[in-house]
Amino acid sequence: MGARDVGEADRTVVFYTKDFGKIIALAKGVRLEKSKLKGHLGFLEHCRCMITPAREWYRLLDAEIIREFHYKDYVRFRNMVLFASFASNLIAGEEKDAKLWEFLKATVYQGLADDAMLIASKETLLNIFGMMPESGARSEEAIADILEANHMV
Tell me how far CA of residue 15 lies from CA of 5, 28, 132, in angstroms.
15, 16, 24
Q: What is d(CA 35, CA 106) in angstroms, rounded to the nearest whole number?
A: 30
- Say what the pTM is: 0.81
Listing from the earlier edge strand, what are the strands of the sheet with 58-67?
Answer: 2-6, 10-17, 21-27, 58-67, 46-53
Query: What is the tens place of the pLDDT at every residue in 106-125?
Result: 988 888 889 899 999 999 99
Query: What is the tens place of the pLDDT at every residue in 26-65?
Result: 988 888 888 888 777 777 788 888 999 988 889 999 988 8
Express as a percent the part of the chain with pLDDT over 90. Answer: 17
| CATH 2.40.50.140 fits domain 2-67 | yes
- Domain parsing of the chain, residue ranges: 2-67, 74-149
